Amino acid sequence: MKVLVSDPLSEQGLAKLNQHFTVDVLTGLSEEELVDKIPDYEALVIRSGTQVTRKVIEAADKMKIIGRAGVGVDNVDVEAATEKGIIVVNAPEGNMLSAAEHTVAMMLALSRNIPQANSSLKSKKWERKKFMGVEVNGKVLGVIGLGRIGAEVAKRAQGLEMDILAYDPFISEERAKELGVKLRTVQEIAKESDFITVHTPLTKETRNIVDKAEFDLMKSNARIVNCARGGIISEEALAEALQSGKIAGAAVDVFVNEPPFESPLLDCDNLIATPHLGASTEEAQINVAVSVAEEVISVLNGGTAKNAINIPSVKPEIMTMLAPYIQLAETMSKACAQLLGKNYERLEISYHGEIAEKDTRPITVAALKGMLQVALGSAVNYVNAASLAKSRKVGVIESKSETSEEYASTISIKIIRGNESESITGTVIGNSGKIISINNEHVDIVPSGYIIVAKHVNKPNVIGPCCIVLGENGINISGMQVGRAEIGGTTMMALNVDSEVPEPILKEMRSVEGIIDAKLIKL
């Protein structure tokens, strides 16, 4: 079998691959060249340089696995790979310590103007007064995104005697306590921190999570660091804040466009920058290369992958029977998590009827994956979902009853935070899943696309005005379910809509008299 390595990979990783396969290292290929060569290979190993587009994947007829030696899979069209049945794996832990150390190095370099002072001295100037710095000791560090790297940064900053605030809507109070950090909102972090660092994935929710409004709240001596992904901090707002002196400085390792030669950030004297070096250590590059090489060897030899992003790790024959239930549980859990919003404490999953007699473990894992994915995106897979839940102190309770009233089998999912919870029940008809109740209100919904769930008082002139709000904003309703309740009682409507509903429109719906709440689920 043949493996194509299309970005520089450490010798240790290459040596492992060479023991088993014919390995070609061809770096710097254009999309066309890659499309031309890819049909010959069973595996592709990349770092961040190669763009594995749909076009490349469509040409990859023998491909079984794409291995990303690093965390972010932003450069792989995972959807296209999944459609083609290609496993995508990453190496989520191999470079985490290097990225955390780089963040701390950037924060210290920023606090003491080290890069600027170095350049000044090398141009034969002796400017001691110009490069007055600040201590980090006793200062407040705000961490946005308290996952693997965020937590490691927090631990190291505690060693520097900093006080840590954190924003991560998917972290429980218990985990925050364990790490010795105080949970805050992004705005509180902006107001209270001397240093801010971001460690989220780049998603729709985190893009520009630090924007002009947040810079306006910051102290004039605040300093901000981005060693995660370009775009989490708005580059435009950051350039403006640096140029106007609204904040004291910034340290950036990652950019929206890399290399960022057109970025106004590079013209700011109070910005220090590195060319995406977070994972550039000998140790990290060995770790990620070896990890990905081991995954490729396992998968091409018929085994499973530990860090698969897009496939469940179950035997094919079990998979066939469980597949629609796995899909349903994952989707319902994703929907429930979106309804609840943040900081889940427990997932309860109950199986009723025939499904209760089967091995339901992959279904429970899929439910966990669906819930955690709302927070962690592609970092969660079927293999790591349970351990991620455990490390986040999210409990899982599974129960089974062999009786089921209306359907042969049903699955109920409940996600809980303190006294609040959301629950969804579904079943499988033929090979397709459907939602049959939301918070015990009877519905009949295909779980896909966009669904608005609106709690309301059962009285005249509530549903109509809501539909008018959507209609006037050009949102097409493709399906509607209204729960039953006594007149004046509380019930629920579920609206399938054909497009995303922006928050201002949901807000307008919530202002309709009789509407208690309206939330959008994206499946």
* Active-site residue set: 229, 258, 276
Please report how many Cα atoms fall inside a 13 Å half-sphere around the Cα of residue 387, on the Cβ side.
Answer: 8
* Residue nearer to ligand NAD on the CB measure, 115 or 169: 169
Give whichever of 343 and 458 is closer to ligand NAD, judged by the CB atom.
Answer: 343
Residue sitting closest to ligand MLT (CB): 70
Separation between Cα atoms, residue 74 and residue 373, nearest integer Å: 15
The Cα 275–Cα 280 span in angstroms is 10
Q: Which two tokens stand for residue 197?
A: 């660092």
Query: Footprint of ligand NAD on residues 74-113 (CB under 6 A)?
Result: 92, 95-96, 99
Give whole-number Cα distances, 458 to 162, 194, 295, 462, 463, in Å: 53, 50, 55, 8, 9
Is there binding between residue 227 and ligand NAD (CB under 6 A)? yes
Site string for ligand MLT, 262-301 (x = CB under 6 A): ----------------xx----------------------
Instruction: Report CA torsion sign: 499, 200, 137, 269.
Output: negative
Among candidate residues 490, 494, 488, the one with its CA nearest the CA of residue 466:
494
- Structure token digits, residue 156: 């190291």
Q: Which two tokens stand for residue 150?
A: 């965020």
| Nearer residue to ligand NAD within complex by CB, 67 or 147 | 147
CB 332 within 8 A of CB 426: yes
| Contact between 218 and ligand NAD per CB under 6 A | no
Out of ligand NAD, ligand MLT, none, what residue 253 binds, judged by CB under 5 to 8 A for its kind, is ligand NAD
For residue 220, what are the CA distances in angstroms to 209, 247, 249, 408?
19, 5, 10, 63
Site string for ligand MLT, 225-264 (x = CB under 6 A): ----------------------------------------
Q: Does 205 bind ligand NAD (CB under 6 A)?
A: yes
Q: Which does 48 bind (CB under 5 to 8 A by kind): ligand MLT, ligand NAD, none?
A: ligand MLT
Name which of 390 and 484 has its Cβ closer to ligand NAD: 390
Which amino acid belongs to residue 157? A
Of residues 229, 352, 414, 455, which one binds ligand NAD by CB under 6 A?
Answer: 229
Taking the least distance from each CB to ligand NAD, the nearer of 69 and 305 is 69
Complex with ligand NAD: residue 210 or 492, whichever CB lies closer: 210
Site string for ligand MLT, 40-79 (x = CB under 6 A): -------xx---------------------xxx-------
Which letter, b or e, does each residue of 224-240 get, where b requires 16 or more Cβ atoms within 10 Å of its Cβ?
bbbbbbbbbbbbebbbe
What residue is closest to ligand NAD based on CB?
147
How many beta carbons lie within 10 A of that of residue 299, not counting itself?
21
**Smallest distance from ligand NAD to CB 149, Å:** 3
Strand bridging mode 490-497 / 450-457: antiparallel
Least distance from C-beta 48 to ligand MLT, angstroms? Answer: 3
Strand partners, 369: none
Nearer to ligand NAD, 199 or 223 (CB): 199
Alpha-carbon separation of residue 193 from 127, 172, 251 (angstroms): 29, 21, 15
# residues contacting ligand NAD (CB under 6 A): 36
Nearer to ligand MLT, 87 or 149 (CB): 149
Strand order in the sheet with 420-429: 395-401, 346-353, 409-417, 420-429, 432-438, 441-445
| Part of the chain binding ligand NAD (CB under 6 A), chosen from 34-42, 321-329, 375-383, 402-410 | 375-383
Q: Of residues 6, 10, 50, 95, which one binds ligand MLT by CB under 6 A?
A: 95
- Count of CB atoms within 10 A of residue 271's CB? 22
Give yes or no for residue 426 binding ligand NAD (CB under 6 A): no
Choosing among ligand NAD, ligand MLT, none, which partner's interface includes residue 170 (Cβ < 5 to 8 Å by kind)? ligand NAD
Residue 351 interface partner, choices ligand MLT, ligand NAD, none, CB cut-off 5-8 Å depending on type = none
Sort residue 383 into left (φ over 0), alpha (ψ -120 to 50) or beta.
Answer: alpha
Q: Which residues bind ligand MLT (CB under 6 A)?
A: 47-48, 70-72, 95, 278-279
Q: Which residues bind ligand NAD (CB under 6 A)?
A: 71-72, 92, 95-96, 99, 144-150, 167-171, 199-203, 205-206, 227-229, 253-254, 276, 278-279, 375-376, 379
